[in-house]
Every structure is written in C-alpha cells, then in structure tokens.
C-alpha cells in the first residue's frame, strides 16, 4: 500500500535524472554509472525532522563492512537512488502536513580516485498544515452520504494533514459508490488555501453521475464445458444494480472452480448504454481429461521429512461438470528409518454444486493395503468410503462436514504388549462423523508476517452411528504472526487435543491415539515419542495434549553473497534464521497435567526460502526436567513448524 501511495507523488514532482545536476557533464554521468560507494550523507534545511529520521527512511546507506557482507546494494549509487530517496523524503513530509515541501538531491565526488560519493539532500519544508473542519458534499442519497462522512471522520481536527490518507479516503469513497451502482462517480478533495495553516478546512466533493445496472453477459471460449458452468459462478445478474465487488468475486469464483486456466471479465466494447453496460467473459478452459504425476519433499505429523510420489487420472466434464479421479499416493520417510510409510489408492467423484448450492459434495472410496504403521510396531490395512462437503464463508473462513465408513485390520502386535492392545488384532468397522473449521488471515502462506490461523476439528466414532469402536477426538490450534521489530517476525502457536473412548469401548484404537514430538510439535524429541508410555514402558498413547510454541524469525546475514558461484543463486533463495522455544506433552489423565510434567526445549534454525517454501534445519536442545533428560537433536525438513 505504501508503494502505491508513493507513486501518487510522481505526478506532483518533476524529477531530475539520477545525479544529473549538470546534464552536459558526461564525466559526471560516467562517474554516477560506475556506482561509486556512498561515503557520507548530508541533510540540509530540515527543522521538524532530525537528520537521523530522514537517513533512516531513504534508500541510500553509507558503506561499511556489515553492509558489504550482507550484499546490501544501497551503499552504492544505483540508477534508482535519486528517485527513491526523493520519494521517501516527500512521503515523510507530505504525510505529516508539509504540503508545500520541496526536496533536491545531488551527488558529489569525494576523493582523488573518484570512487566515493557524498549524497546531499536539501529540503525546503514550508508551512505545516493541520486539519480544520472536514466535510463531504454531493447530490447523493443520505445513505451513501452517511457512509462517506463516516470515512471522513477518520481525520481529526488539529492533526497534521496527511495527503496520502486523503487520497486513500477518496479511493474508499469511490469504492463505496461503485459498490452501490455509481461506478462513474467523481470524488475530489480540496483544502482552503486562504485559511490558517493551523486550521485548514478540507472538503470532499462527490459528483455521482447516474445509477448503473448490469447488462447481459456474453461467454466466449466455452467449448468443453457448458456455458452454464461459467454462468453459475457469476455474481453479475442482468438488471441488478452495478457492484464492483460482484465483478471481483465473480473472477475469484471462476478461478476457484478449477475449470479454467485464464479468465477475462470486462465491459463490452460494443455496449451502447453506459447505464446498462454489457460484459464479456472470455475463458481458456483446462483440459477435460488429464494424467498427472507429482513428486517432491514433504512433511507430516509422523516424520520430519517425506518424499511423496503421486499419480492420477481424471476427467473434469463428466455429465457436464462433474469430476472423477483415480489416484495413487506413496510416501517414503527419509533419514535413519527410510521406508515406505504410506500407499493408498483412491477413486473420487465430485458434484461441484450440491443441491444447487456452491458447496461441493465429494464421494471417496479408498484402499490402503497392508503396511507397517508409521508410528507403532504393528501392521495395518484398511478400506473406507466417505462423503464430505465444504463451504467457504468469505475469503478467510472454510468449513467442512462429512461421514465415513472404515474397515481396519491390525495385525502383528508384539507379544510383550499389554493385554488390552491384543484385542486390536481383530477386524474393526468404524463409522465416523467429522467436522472442521478454519479461519486463515495470514498475509503469506510460506512466510507470514501478519495474521491469525485458527483450526478446530472434531471426529466422532460410533455412538448413534453404530460400528465396533466408540470414541471421539477434538483438536484445536491457534497461531498468530506479527512484526515486532523491523525485519523480525514473532510467531506464536497454542495447540491442544482431547480424545477418549465411551460406551462399550475401553480405549481409543492404537492407530488413532494422539502423538507428540518432532520437527512440527516439540523439537529436540524424536517423532511421536511423547505421551505414549506408562511408567513401566508400555505403549499406550495420550488422551490429552497441550503444546506451546514461540518463535522469532528474521532474514539473516547472506553469507553466500560473496561467493562468486553462489552469488546469484542466494539472491533468489534468501537465507532466514530463527530462534524458538517449545513446551508440551501428552497425558493419559487430566490430573497428570502439571508444569513439571511438561517437556521443554529451545534452539535455533536456518531456512533457505525456495519457491516451494522454506527448507529448514533446526538444532534443538531439551531442558532437564522431572521426566526428561537433557539431550540435543537436529531436524531437517521443509516449511515452518507452524
């Protein structure tokens, strides 16, 4: 947003080419193009802001060893140095009431060898203007005018006038008008130049033009899929009041449908009625039938690092727009225990608009042949059938609901296990009702700097559904990301779970108990090694788990920038670092939960940020406590722990 605001003042200022104080001096131009190092920066004419305030904002930096090691290019004069310095200084002043500010930057040669430069920034601040009365005028309905006046109330009397905040208010008012049928509305702001700078009246003037309605929508490029597939995703309805949000939402829904690789939704050039404009939707369809193959590194709750391989065949236009897929998935664990830990085969059918609602229904049949369990010392095979649906609410909230029938066969349980484990060698039929909720407001999927993620899932087995097992699982997590220092990101997560058997069942099945430990829960511990043992060493699993993770992340020293072979590579794959602390454990009974029963660990990690996400190496050390000895462990995996 700030970059967009900075662009506004490019129309207010006539820039001089970088360093071209004397355009005819070719020697000076050649010197600037040689990118001399910046030895010093001088600021003159500033009274309200200190030299330090201005130097901290501008693009230019004086040279030192630290910036050279980091590969910071700003300590040399670049092609963009002049413009970026001037823009930053103007942004500072124009956003703090100095509406008549003038800024001039020049570069001067230092030293006989001409390898160093002095950057001189001269500022003429002018008077500082403060808000007086702020009003909105226009021949519009009271409802529309009321909302625009609410936007204008953000400007408080006697506060310094912020030109960019005023422009942003104009944008918000135009958006409001466009979402209520007035896309041609013109809005300008003006200040009373005759008034005192200490009490400057500001007025927004709205010229609404005429009310606009949507016309017809023509669909072009639909060949493999019926036009109705595209039309049902449109929020635009002929005759409805024009709303800009409806156009944006229509484009998003078309992409999310999965039928089109590119779309273009624009006003028709042939429309004759500007108050009832027609639209043209041009689509490029994806292939109806496809054969896919994917492979790559991944991670899960049971292993730090996996190598996943999947292949599939599918059709997107079955009976118009229904889909079916045949999929085969394999996961291999990497490390000391390298082996195949998952292989499954699925047939999946999707009804995209279930009961006429944008709520896809998916029917799945899946087979998992016999294989050693990823976390326990026994073999497991299963097949299942399920029906599920999901519903999005806005851009941040996603919900899911489904029912599943599963047949499980567990065999090969060791003879030395406790007696209650042996009963799991029988065939088991399970019936499950499951629901999930997720709210995600992160600004970035791989390296979030702001936002919150909240997850809640509930699995209910047996009970009124029938089946051989009666138990439930409840899992919840909450993560928050925020910038606490320039370049420093604080990530916090709280995670808990609760599972228990009821009715005729005495225990949660072996393959459904909850585990902790590893790169994604508590670092410093082996995967799934917490909350699983009784005092005599028997494997029993946990009914209750609680985990707290605190992590700080920052872009670290780019130590490879000075290595010629790796220089360009490391510019595209930046290096990050983190420090963290993990606390948590799993418990059989609620009365076992206490501070001295938790496991504690701390450590640091390095991440290389790739297009597929961060690849990380973490070093963690366990803290000695009542139940745990001090130890250390390395974790190598991809993506952040949360």
Dump pLDDT digits (tens) for 254-269.
999 999 999 999 999 8
Least confident piece of the model among 117-126, 366-375, 463-472, 543-552: 366-375
- Band of pLDDT at residue 23, cut at 50, 70 and 90: very low
Burial of 128 (0-12, 13-18, 19+ CB in 10 A): middle
Can you give the pLDDT at residue 531?
A: 73
Dump pLDDT digits (tens) for 370-381.
998 877 778 889
The percentage of the chain sitting over the pLDDT mark of 70, rounded to a whole number, equals: 90
- Band of pLDDT at residue 485, cut at 50, 70 and 90: confident
Lookup: tokens for 407 = 């047949």
For the domain covering 2-124, report its CATH number.
3.10.20.310
Lookup: tokens for 625 = 């406590």
Can you give the pLDDT at residue 65?
A: 86
Q: Assign domain 131-207 one CATH number from 3.40.50.620, 3.30.930.10, 3.10.20.310, 2.40.340.10.
A: 3.10.20.310
When pLDDT is averaged across residues 477-498 and rounded to a whole number, the result is 94
Residues in the chain: 642
Dump pLDDT digits (tens) for 550-591.
999 998 876 555 555 555 555 667 889 999 999 999 988 888
Dump pLDDT digits (tens) for 295-338.
887 767 667 778 899 999 999 999 999 999 999 999 998 877 78
For the domain covering 217-285, report its CATH number.
3.10.20.310
Can you give the pLDDT at residue 422?
A: 47
Alpha-carbon span 465 to 521, nearest angstrom: 33
Alpha-carbon span 484 to 482, nearest angstrom: 6
Instruction: Delimit the domains of the chain by residue range.
Output: 2-124, 131-207, 217-285, 290-371, 549-642
Q: Would you say the CATH fold of 217-285 matches that of 2-124?
A: yes
3-state secondary structure of 65: helix
Do residues 373 and 380 make contact, with C-beta atoms less than 8 angstroms apart? yes
Alpha-carbon span 518 to 500, nearest angstrom: 23
Can you give the pLDDT at residue 14?
A: 35
Can you give the pLDDT at residue 487?
A: 84
- Band of pLDDT at residue 209, cut at 50, 70 and 90: very high
Alpha-carbon span 560 to 568, nearest angstrom: 9
3-state secondary structure of 124: strand
User: Whole-prediction pTM value?
Assistant: 0.76
Alpha-carbon span 421 to 45, nearest angstrom: 81
DSSP bridge partners of 476: 456, 496
Q: Which residues contact 464 (CB under 8 A, 6 or more apart)?
A: none
When pLDDT is averaged across residues 94-113 and rounded to a whole number, the result is 91
Least confident piece of the model among 50-64, 382-396, 549-563: 549-563
More confident residue, 601 or 639: 601
When pLDDT is averaged across residues 537-556 and rounded to a whole number, the result is 85
Can you give the pLDDT at residue 572?
A: 65
Q: Which residues contact 113 (CB under 8 A, 6 or more apart)?
A: none
- Band of pLDDT at residue 415, cut at 50, 70 and 90: low
- Band of pLDDT at residue 47, cut at 50, 70 and 90: very high
Lookup: tokens for 600 = 């504690």
Least confident piece of the model among 460-474, 504-518, 575-589: 504-518
* HSE toward the beta carbon, residue 427, CA cutoff 13 A: 4
Can you give the pLDDT at residue 24?
A: 43
Dump pLDDT digits (tens) for 282-295.
999 999 999 999 98
How far, in Å, are 313, 321, 323, 364 from residue 347 at the CA level? 10, 17, 11, 6
- Dihedral Cα 342, 346, 351, 357, nearest 10 deg: -20
Can you give the pLDDT at residue 515?
A: 82
- Band of pLDDT at residue 348, cut at 50, 70 and 90: very high
Q: Inform me whether the pLDDT recorded for 356 exceeds 70.
A: yes
- Band of pLDDT at residue 133, cut at 50, 70 and 90: very high
Can you give the pLDDT at residue 565?
A: 53
Least confident piece of the model among 7-11, 35-39, 385-389, 473-477: 7-11
Q: Inform me whether the pLDDT recorded for 181 exceeds 70.
A: yes
Can you give the pLDDT at residue 76?
A: 92
CA-closest candidate to residue 569, choices 578, 559, 577, 579: 559
């Amino acid at each position: 947003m700030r970059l967009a605001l900075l662009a506004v003042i490019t129309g207010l200022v006539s820039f001089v080419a970088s360093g071209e104080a004397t355009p005819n001096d070719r020697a000076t131009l050649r010197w600037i193009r040689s990118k001399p190092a910046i030895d010093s920066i001088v600021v003159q004419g500033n009274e309200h802001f200190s030299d330090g305030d201005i130097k901290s904002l501008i693009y230019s930096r004086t040279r030192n060893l630290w910036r050279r090691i980091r590969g910071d290019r700003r300590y040399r004069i670049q092609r963009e140095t002049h413009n970026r310095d001037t823009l930053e200084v103007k942004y500072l002043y124009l956003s703090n009431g100095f509406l008549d500010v003038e800024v001039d930057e020049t570069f001067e040669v230092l030293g006989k060898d001409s390898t160093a430069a002095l950057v001189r920034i001269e500022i003429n601040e002018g008077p500082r203007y403060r808000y007086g009365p702020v009003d909105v005028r226009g021949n519009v309905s009271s409802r529309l005018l009321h909302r625009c006046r609410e936007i204008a109330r953000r400007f408080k009397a006697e506060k310094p006038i912020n030109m960019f905040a005023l422009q942003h208010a104009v944008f918000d008012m135009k958006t409001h008008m466009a979402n209520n049928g007035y896309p041609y509305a013109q809005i300008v702001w003006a200040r009373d130049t005759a008034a005192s700078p200490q009490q400057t009246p500001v007025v927004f003037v709205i010229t609404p033009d005429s009310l606009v309605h949507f016309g017809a929508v023509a669909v072009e490029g639909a060949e493999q899929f019926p036009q109705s597939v595209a039309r049902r995703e449109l929020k635009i309805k002929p005759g409805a009041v024009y709303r800009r949000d409806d156009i944006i939402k229509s484009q998003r829904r078309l992409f999310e449908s999965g039928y089109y690789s590119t779309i273009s939704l624009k006003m028709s050039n042939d429309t004759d009625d500007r108050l009832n404009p027609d639209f043209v939707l041009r689509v490029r369809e994806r292939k109806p039938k496809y054969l896919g193959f994917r492979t790559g590194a991944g991670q899960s709750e049971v292993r730090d690092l996996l190598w996943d391989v999947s292949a599939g065949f599918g059709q997107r236009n079955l009976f118009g727009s229904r889909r079916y897929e045949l999929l085969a998935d394999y996961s291999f664990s990497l490390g000391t225990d390298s082996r195949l830990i998952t292989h499954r085969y699925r047939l999946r059918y999707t009804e995209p608009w279930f009961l006429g609602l944008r709520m896809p229904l998916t029917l799945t049949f899946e087979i998992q042949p016999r294989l050693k369990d990823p976390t326990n010392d026994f073999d497991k095979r299963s097949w299942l059938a399920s029906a599920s649906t999901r519903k999005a609410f806005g851009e941040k909230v996603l919900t899911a609901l489904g029912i599943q029938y599963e047949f499980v066969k567990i065999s090969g349980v060791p003879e030395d296990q406790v007696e209650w484990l042996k009963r799991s060698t029988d065939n088991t039929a399970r019936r499950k009702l499951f629901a999930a909720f997720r709210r995600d407001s992160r600004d970035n999927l791989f390296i979030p700097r702001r936002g919150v993620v909240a997850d809640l899932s509930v699995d209910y087995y047996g009970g009124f559904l029938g089946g051989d097992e009666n138990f439930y699982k409840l899992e919840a997590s909450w993560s928050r990301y925020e910038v606490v220092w320039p370049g420093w990101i604080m990530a916090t997560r709280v995670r808990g779970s609760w599972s228990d058997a009821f009715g005729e069942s005495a225990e949660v099945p072996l393959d459904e108990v909850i585990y902790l430990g590893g790169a994604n829960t508590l670092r410093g511990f082996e995967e799934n090694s917490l909350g699983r043992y009784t005092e005599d060493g028997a494997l029993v699993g946990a009914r209750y788990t609680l985990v707290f993770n605190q992590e700080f992340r920052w872009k670290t020293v780019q130590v490879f920038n000075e290595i010629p072979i790796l220089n360009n590579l490391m510019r595209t794959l930046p290096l990050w670092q983190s420090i963290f602390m993990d606390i948590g454990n799993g418990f059989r009974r609620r009365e076992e939960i206490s501070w001295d029963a938790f496991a504690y660990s701390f450590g640091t990690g390095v991440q290389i940020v790739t297009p597929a996400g961060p690849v990380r190496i973490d070093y963690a050390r366990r803290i000695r406590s009542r139940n745990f000895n001090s130890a250390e462990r390395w974790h190598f995996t991809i993506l952040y722990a949360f």
